[in-house]
Structures are given as C-alpha cells and as structure tokens.
Amino acid sequence: MRIGIVTDSCCDLPRAFLDQHRIDILPITIRSGDSTFIDRRDPAATRAFYATLGDSEFLSEPFSVDAIRQRFLDQIVVDFDYVFCLTVMSSRSKIFDNATQAARTILTDYRPIREAAGQTRPFSLRVFDSQNLFVGQGLIVAEIVRMAEAEATTSAIISRIEQLTHCTQAFLIPSDLAQLRNNARRKGDKSVGLATYLLGSALDIKPVIRGFQGDTHPVAKVRGFETGVHKLFALATSLIEGKHLLAPTITISYGGDPAAVAAMPGYADLRSSAGKHGVDVHVCEMSATAAVNIGAGGLALAFAAEHEIPFD
C-alpha cells in the first residue's frame, strides 16, 4: 500500500525532509495591506519574509475547501492509496475544517480518476487535527513517516496519531515581543498586554508559550532569550536521558537561518544526548505563519511525553 502524507505550511520540518518523503504541503496565504505572501515552506522565501514583518498586521488564509479538493483529485488520489492529512490545531486555523469538508467530496469523486490511471485499489483518506502548532505538528508528521517506512499498519498509525495529538508539547520563545504583542492585540488576546510588553522590553523578559492539546498560552517567563533557549534545550535533554519521550523525535525551528541554532547554548548537549539514545533532531526555519505570531528570531521546540511537562 502506498501511504501518503499531506500537511499545511505551518508544519515545521526541514524542506529536504518534506521532499525526501514526498510530503505534500497545503499552502497558507498571508496578507498585509496590499502585500501577499504564499507560504509553501520554501526556506529562502521564508527567511526573506521575516525581514518584512516590522510592525505590520497580517491575516492568514488557509487553503480553501475547493482548492484542497482539487489538489487531491489532480494528483494525490493517483499517487497514493491511503493518505494521512494532519493540520495545525483547529483552534488557530480553519484548515482542519476545510480539509475535513474537502475529504467528503474527494472520497466520492476519486474513482473515475483512479480508474483512468489504471488504479483498481480503493483510495482512503483520514484528516487529523494535530491539536498543536508548528514544531508540534512537525513532530507528529515525522512520526507518521517513521511508522510508514517501518511498514506499520494504517490502524497502528492512526492509534499513534491519536496518542501523539494528546501528548505532544511545543514550546515557543520569542526574541522580540513587538510582533507577539501586535498579533495578540489584533486577535483580542490579552496575554501580552501593554504593561507586560513594556516591562518585558525593559528587563528583557520573554514569555514561554506552550502549545498543548489544542491550546496555547504562556506558561513561564525567562530573563533573556538565550537563557530561555538554554532551559528549553536542557529540558529536552533531560527527557531524552531519562527515557521519557514517547516518540524518538525532537523538532526545533528558528525564525532565521537554522544554521544559527548549532551555536545556541545547550544545543550541543542536546544533539549529543539524542545521538546516544537514537533520537532524531530535526531543525528548520520557522514557518512564516509562526513568525507572524511570535516575530522573527524566535525559537520553538517540541517533544512527546506521557505526562504534561512543566517549564521550570
């Protein structure tokens, strides 16, 4: 059985990994005034987009129901027999709802297309809400890839996805609070108010934001971006050393050139520990949608653990 994976451009995984495993990306359109950026997870284009952020306000538009349907019927229903579609958390985007609606018509319209291509096996499609964002979404996609390559059954993969959507935790640390505050204000989110912004800017205090089980909110504060990053890497390292991970994967994204992550405090220890324990570490540029929310220069990391892990 040919298993395919579809996700959206919020998914933080390296472009080379996406291409190697033929993971199809549903693009997200980002608008600001008269400017439009279509996020297709192109590394160079994404890094160039970071430079345009400034103090602008942005609106994100997910792929429409019709566009998703057409994308599948044009090629995906021929290339694969069973497709897992995993989206960014539905509480932050309509793409899960759009994909779910599109799936209904895809599953009724695919037959003549496959027959014309000489495919006699039925086509199957399952859409999942990752209940997470960016690196958390990427971790679950990477685990689907690992299981598919190990020739796991589709029922086993479904069970694994359902487990990971409840156990994956993503932590995001912004470098500059300005974009985070602007975006929160536009959405009516008071988690980064004016007083917090002014104090944080003056004292270099950064919020640590967690994505977990369909929710995002600040869970801690740190003084200094590098301090927060070091704590985050140390937390992931301790989970690896203690064998507390539910999936042998750590995903990391950075709102800039991902090569810079190698020099960040604590990263060398994380890579060393991951190498000893057979844990894959995927590092990539942060998605444009993530940068719109937390600003350029931020860092995010995700892992899956059986219990909720506090950020100390």
**Spatial distance between the Cα atoms of 83 and 106, rounded to a whole number of angstroms:** 12
pLDDT tier for residue 195 given thresholds of 50, 70 and 90 = very low
Please say if the pLDDT value at position 158 is more than 70.
Answer: yes
Residues 6+ apart with CB under 8 A from 116: none
Which tokens in the block code for residue 157?
A: 């993969």
Q: Which pLDDT band holds residue 179 (cuts at 50, 70, 90)?
A: low
Q: What is the pLDDT of residue 200?
A: 47
Q: Would you say the CATH fold of 168-304 matches that of 3-166?
A: no
Q: Closest by alpha carbon to 224, among 244, 247, 201, 250?
A: 201
Residue type, 221: K
pLDDT at 123 over 70: yes
pTM: 0.92
Residue 90 token pair: 């539905």
pLDDT for 166: 97
**Best CATH choice for the domain 168-304 from the list 3.40.50.300, 3.90.1150.10, 3.30.1180.10, 3.40.50.970:** 3.30.1180.10
Residue 155 is predicted with a pLDDT of 98
Among 71-75, 77-81, 92-96, 199-203, name the one with the lowest average pLDDT.
199-203
Q: How many CB atoms lie within 10 A of CB 118?
A: 7
Average pLDDT on 230-253 reads 97
Question: Mean pLDDT over all residues of the chain?
Answer: 91
Is the pLDDT at 307 greater than 50, yes or no?
yes
Domain layout of the chain by residue ranges: 3-166, 168-304
pLDDT at 194: 41
Instruction: Please tell me the CATH code under which domain 3-166 is placed.
Output: 3.40.50.10170
Q: Is the pLDDT of residue 177 over 80?
A: no
The 10s digit of each residue's pLDDT in 8-66 is: 999 999 999 999 999 999 999 999 888 899 999 999 999 999 888 876 778 889 999 99
